[in-house]
Each structure stands twice: as C-alpha cells, then as structure tokens.
Amino acid sequence: MATTSADNRGTWNSKFGFILAAAGSAVGLGNIWRFPTEAASNGGAAFLIIYLICCFLIGFPIMIAELSIGRNSQKNPVGAFKSLSNNKFFPLVGMWGILCGVMILSFYTIIAGWTFSYVFVEIFTFTGMNEAAAFIGDFNNGFVNAIFAILFMGCTIGIIRGGVSEGIERATKLMMPLLVLILIIMTVYVLFQPGAQEGIRAYLLPDFSKITTGLVLAALGQAFFSLSLGMGALITYGSYLSKKENIVEAAGYVTISDVGIAFLAGLLIMPSIFLAQSQGVVIYNEAGDFLAGPSLIFQILPELFSQMGGILGLVFGVSFFFLLSLAALTSTVSLLEVPTSYVIDEHGVRRKKAALGVGLSVLAVSLIISFNTSLIDHIDYIFSTVGLPLGGLLICIFVGYYWKTTSAIDEIKNGFKDAADSWFTTAWSVFIKFICPVLILIILIRTIF
C-alpha cells in the first residue's frame, strides 16, 4: 500500500499484493498457536469439524461482507458504518471492533514475543548454553516477556508508520511458502514416528459426544480469530482495495489458505502432543483436563526439534520460530492498522504520529500482561471467542438490513461483472441475512446463558 495520495489513504500495489496482505493478516499465531491449542483442549477432531463448518459457512460470507463495506466506504470501521447508514448505533459496532483489535493485539504481542524468543532458545540449547535458554524460555519471567513484547511492538509500529509497505508484501511472498514447506516436512517427520497414530486418530476421528456448546463457541471464535474477522480488519484492508478486483475470489483465496495452514498445523501438533507426553511432558492431567494453556506449542515443539537432533533440529527449530515470528508480524501489522486508520481518518492525525500513539498505548497493556500472563486466557476469551463473533453478528445485521445486501452486491459487481445474476451472490445474501446471524446468535446465547 502506498500512502502517497493526497488524502493520506493508499491502495494495494496489485491484486496479488492485496491477497498477500490479507492472507498475511489471516495467517499467523491463530493458525499455528491458537488453533492447535484450542483443538487439543476441545478433544481434537470434533473441534476440527465444527471449526471447518464455521470457517466456510459463517466466516467466508462475512469476509465478503467486510471487504465490500471497506471498499465501498473507503473508510476505517467507524467511518465506514457512519458513511453507509444514518443509524447512530452502528459506528459503535466499529468502536467495539477497534476495542477487540486493541485487546487482541495486547496479548498477541506477548505470544509473538515468545515465538521470537524461541529462536534464541533453540540456538542456546544447541550451543549448550542451557541456563541462558532456560532464562529466555521462561514464560513466567515478566521482564523477558516485556523485552520481547517491546521489540515486537517496535517492529509493528515501524511498519505501520511507513504504510503497509512493499517490503512487507515481499516478505510475505517469500515467508508464507517457506513456512508451509517447513510445516509439511515436520508433519511428515512426525507422522512417521512410532506412537503418532494415536494423535492422528484424536485429530481426525471425531467423537461427536464431545460436541458441547462450549466447544461450538470455541470453534466459532477460532474461525473469526484465524480469518481476522469481526473487528473490521478486513473492512480496513478492503478500503485500500482497487475496484478492479474480485472480492469473492480474493476472499476465497484467503479463506482456503488460512484454513489449509491451520489444518496442517493441527496435523503436526496433535501427534506431537502424544509423542511429547510419552516423553513426560505434562499436557493433560489424569482426569483428562487440558493443562498446557497458551504455552502448549512452546512446550512440545522444542521437544520435537531436539528429538530430530543435532544440526537438523537446530535448522528446523530456528527457521520455524523465525518464520512464525514473521507470520505473526503480518498479523500484528493488520491489528495495529485498524485503530491507526481510525485515528487518521476520524481525528485527522498524521499516520506516523497515529501509529506511534496507538502502538505505545497498546504496548502499555502488553506490559501489564507480561507480568501477569494468566490474563491472556481471559482477555482472549472475552475479546476473541465472544467479541469477534458478536462483531460478526452485528456486521451481518448491518449489511443484511441497513446497508442492504443489494448495495453490497452492487459493490461486489466491480471486479465480478455477473455478480447480480449469479447464484453465488443470491446464496450469499441468504447467508448474510439469515443463516450466519441466526447461527451466531444461537451459539452466543446458548453458551452465555
């Protein structure tokens, strides 16, 4: 995105640039840290199935809705709702989205910091500096958490200050295929280890009796989190999208790559859990309750790398955590871009100042979390698991009943000529007006009450 236009807004350099940026936003810790953790704590395969249903039947239509709102209004989430309807309530939905984004970013920065710190843990372990490895790899050390969070937020602010630059588009282009390649190699390695079958079974053979309302909400929240939906990130990214592009096609690419990478990560992590357990790493207690929490992947993956042994383990370990840090960076960039674009558009602040101000405020929250990591689960539950689907529900109501799906389809027509007569957009309207909001509402109500 170049920020050269007079109004301080830019557009993506190319269609590929947009898809990369949107996929960069979607693919991140959500796929490789959050998805396997949620799956492992919700019984594996049952969670996977509900998650896939949520991504394709609820997430994908809402992604199209967010992109159309963004491209039509050319605004940040609050400005977009203001300009597309006179209703006074909906700008508050934009504010809610911004709040969710800010709170998600505050803990995301900590996990991203852990990811980057594990690059060093791998190196120190390899070189026999075990004390240094233990020091840096200690999740309960608030000081270390804070240093890495500052580092990560610093990089995020730097990128946002320059506008989402070509640099990050290029980095994503290289990084994502490499990350996928490493994931595939590691998965193949794990699947051939004796004892892996039990993990594959847990991941792929659903036990439908495990489906509870809690599981369904967790899967729905995970779909929103992973696809970057419900808080206006894709309204904002859509506002930089050129009229030539086909929104439906772009949303399709983003959804499929995001879901594909999460699926692959599960295929790696679930069997690894069983292997790690056979080596004495405690993930479930005797009653079968999940104990590992947000540090799950940092407990089991290093185990795997050390098992691979020697230089091979080092190369895989370092590249894995480094690439995952980059994937996290393209997500933190999108999380910070939303409140920043709001401050730029609605309060007339310059981009550089806005990015710094918002970034440092979020960092203040991250620093509190650094010293109280047990807050992560609570903030994550309120603002991701509940907050994002709630935002998604309100976006459906807005597009379905206030802005109207016919206006959205008019917007989709740019870049998708036959949109008005296509079965796809007819079905999409039905999903946005009825199926998605009703499903989300039922799930939210049943879990909360």
Q: Kindly list the residues in this chain that would bind ligand PHE in the complex (CB under 6 A).
A: 25-26, 28-31, 104, 225-226, 228, 231, 233, 331, 334-335
Q: Which is nearer to ligand PHE, 59 or 91 (CB)?
A: 59
Question: What is the nearest approach in angstroms of ligand PHE to the Cβ of residue 102?
Answer: 11
Question: What is the nearest approach in angstroms of ligand PHE to the Cβ of residue 4?
Answer: 25
Question: What is the nearest approach in angstroms of ligand PHE to the Cβ of residue 319?
Answer: 19
Task: Give the C-alpha separation, 101 to 87, whole Å.
Answer: 23
Task: Give the C-alpha separation, 162 to 225, whole Å.
Answer: 26
Q: Which is nearer to ligand PHE, 324 or 408 (CB)?
A: 324
Cβ-contact 82, 232 below 8 angstroms? no
Q: Which is nearer to ligand PHE, 265 or 367 (CB)?
A: 265
Q: Which is nearer to ligand PHE, 35 or 274 (CB)?
A: 35
Q: Which is nearer to ligand PHE, 100 or 314 (CB)?
A: 100
Q: Which is nearer to ligand PHE, 335 or 349 (CB)?
A: 335
Q: Which is nearer to ligand PHE, 234 or 354 (CB)?
A: 234
Q: Which is nearer to ligand PHE, 335 or 358 (CB)?
A: 335
Q: Which is nearer to ligand PHE, 300 or 336 (CB)?
A: 336
Question: What is the nearest approach in angstroms of ligand PHE to the Cβ of residue 7?
Answer: 24
Task: Give the C-alpha separation, 206 to 221, whole Å.
Answer: 20
Task: Give the C-alpha separation, 437 to 275, whole Å.
Answer: 41
Cβ-contact 43, 215 below 8 angstroms? yes
Question: What is the nearest approach in angstroms of ligand PHE to the Cβ of residue 86?
Answer: 28
Question: What is the nearest approach in angstroms of ligand PHE to the Cβ of residue 39?
Answer: 14
Question: What is the nearest approach in angstroms of ligand PHE to the Cβ of residue 259?
Answer: 11
Question: What is the nearest approach in angstroms of ligand PHE to the Cβ of residue 139?
Answer: 19
Task: Give the C-alpha separation, 28 to 323, whole Å.
Answer: 10
Residue, CB closest to ligand PHE: 30
Task: Give the C-alpha separation, 447 to 449, whole Å.
Answer: 6
Question: What is the nearest approach in angstroms of ligand PHE to the Cβ of residue 30?
Answer: 2
Question: What is the nearest approach in angstroms of ligand PHE to the Cβ of residue 202?
Answer: 23
Q: Which is nearer to ligand PHE, 12 or 126 (CB)?
A: 12
Helix axes 196-204, 247-278, angle to 10 degrees: 140
Q: Which is nearer to ligand PHE, 26 or 84 (CB)?
A: 26
Question: What is the nearest approach in angstroms of ligand PHE to the Cβ of residue 313?
Answer: 26
SS (HEC) of the chain: CECCCCCCCCECCCHHHHHHHHHHHHCCHHHHHHHHHHHHHCCCHHHHHHHHHHHHHHHHHHHHHHHHHHHHHCCCHHHHHHHHCCCCCHHHHHHHHHHHHHHHHHHHHHHHHHHHHHHHHHHHHHCCCHHHHHHHCCCCCHHHHHHHHHHHHHHHHHHHHCCCCHHHHHHHHHHHHHHHHHHHHHHHHHHCCCCHHHHHHHHHCCCHHHCCHHHHHHHHHHHHHHCCCCCCHHHHHHCCCCCCCCHHHHHHHHHHHHHHHHHHHHHHHHHHHHHHHHCCCCCECCCCCECCHHHHHHHHHHHHHHHHCHHHHHHHHHHHHHHHHHHHHHHHHHHHHHHHHHHHHHHCCCHHHHHHHHHHHHHHHHHHHHHCCCHHHHHHHHHHHHHHHHHHHHHHHHHHHHHHHHHHHHHHHCCCHHHHHCHHHHHHHHHHHHHHHHHHHHHHHHHHC
